[in-house]
Chain A
Amino acid sequence: MNFSFSHRRISGVLAVVPANERSFVDEMSNFNFPPARSLKLKQVMGYDKHRIVEGPVCASDLGCFALEYAFGHGFVGRNQIDALLVVTQSPDYFMPPTSSVIQGRLGLKQDLFCMDINQGCAGFLIGLLEAFLLLGQDSVSKVALLNVDVLSRKVSPRDRNSYPLIGDAASLTLVERSEDPTPIHANLKMDGAAREALMIPAGGFRLPSTPETAVLEDDGENNLRAKDHLRMDGSAIFNFVQVEVPPLVEDLLRTAGASAGDVDYFLFHQPNRFMLQKLAERMQVPYEKMPSNVVEHYGNSSGVTIPLVIAHNLRERLLRDSVRACLAGFGVGLTWSSMLLRLGPLEFCELIEFP
């Protein structure tokens, strides 16, 4: 399905990564694979370092840290935010919503629309769509979009399929109205029939956590994980991305009357370098227009990877200039979405560490 907006903009991006950095080589001994094969995996997929929280750090801890930093540095006033959207798959609690937790911890005003959105790798796009919709109301002039996940806490350290690439992070994206009438185009598809390709089987109401769901099992490929852990059908996800994302983006560009050559940057979700490079080849987009270096520096933090790719690669440019950007997110659900918009100049664009 297609969406279009105008008079909307992203005014700033703040990304937060935990200071705790781990390296693939140091963690290789946890995996049930010969070191030479793991090194080959590192080389092919582009794994190197990743940032994960130390100890019981929760989504609201990273979220509050981001917002406090933004208030403290004058990026936005504490009372200027009219909506707080928290996109996470790792909420503090089943109830209340993490957005309410953050509102309460920071003492934000009561005239605040707090909402949690359970979305993953397409979560930046879904969050932007919601933010744009809310800005249709006179009472909403600034939306704080907080993407945050601490999924490392749900990944088995002995699962070479997922652990080397997982990253924790948060981002605050400020979304507001603008004078710019240029249309913003977006599209979105979902396929719940394939929902089991990426899931945490246990811990919800369907299969509550018990001692049995915590038992590590071999998946038949030498990866050890429990039902309490995140699991990913890597080949199914790979195929899904290669099959579904290029036509989605082609449709978007066609609807917008644009061509791939008109796009300055393809800022896509960052599953790993391998998948992005294959995507770039398939879409005939030069590698330099589609950065793929987030996983090797920080890991894959689901909905936060697009803000990270922006803050890591384009900070200087976006503080003074604007680019025509094509965003795309794809993952859990399954959900895939793309958006074409003018990005920048931003009022703030930073990448900071959570101590």
Chain B
Amino acid sequence: MDEFCRKLAQILEVDEVKPDDALEDFEEWDSLSALTVIAMAGCQYGVPLRATELKKLATPRHVYDFILRRKGMAP
């Protein structure tokens, strides 16, 4: 989770992202950063994530849990 938040902070160009921050509140959270997250899910976790699914996930924790669930490593 920490590692995931660190990568997310890079994508969103901020110093820190906390697991329960609202993604919508970040200025840089748009279709491009969403695609970068989708790429990260695909390339680093081997999980296909759709933009429509990502849109429904409000916080980094939701996204992370979704990826783990799809990978069959449910928390």
Contact = CB atoms under 8 A, between A and B. Distances in A.
Interface in A223-252: 233-236, 238-239, 242-243
Contacts of B34: 235
Given A37-B30, A234-B51, A239-B49, A282 B38 contact: no
B12 to A, nearest CB: 11
B22 interface: no
B58 to A, nearest CB: 17
Contacts of A236: 50-51
B42 A278 contact: yes
B43 interface: yes
A239 B42 contact: yes
Contacts of A281: 43
A233 B48 CA distance: 14
B42 A242 contact: yes
B43 A242 contact: yes
Nearest to B40: A278
Given A221-B31, A234-B51, A239 B43 contact: no
Contacts of B54: 235
A239 B50 contact: yes
A41 B32 CA distance: 7
Range, interface on chain B: 10 to 19
A109 interface: no
Contact of A37 (B32, B35, B48, B52): B32
A232 to B, nearest CB: 12
Interface residues of A, number: 19
Contacts, number: 47
Contact of A239 (B31, B32, B48): B48
Contact of B32 (A40, A238, A242, A243): A40
Contacts of A242: 39, 42-43, 48
Contacts of B50: 235-236, 239
Contact of A235 (B28, B43, B51): B51
A47 B23 CA distance: 26
A238 B30 contact: no
B56 to A, nearest CB: 13
Contacts of B49: 235, 239
A166 B32 CA distance: 18
Contacts of B38: 235, 238-239
B10 interface: no
B25 to A, nearest CB: 16
A106 interface: no
A53 B48 CA distance: 36
B11 to A, nearest CB: 10
B51 A243 contact: no
B43 A243 contact: no
Q: Which of A234, A235, A242, A281 has the most CB of B within 10 A?
A: A235
Contacts of B36: 44
Interface string A120-164: 000000000000000000000000000000000000000001000
Given A37-B32, A233-B51, A239-B38, 15 more contacts: A33-B30, A37-B28, A41-B32, A44-B32, A161-B31, A221-B30, A234-B51, A235-B50, A238-B42, A242-B39, A242-B43, A242-B48, A278-B43, A281-B43, A282-B42
Interface of B: 28, 30-32, 34-36, 38-39, 42-43, 48-52, 54
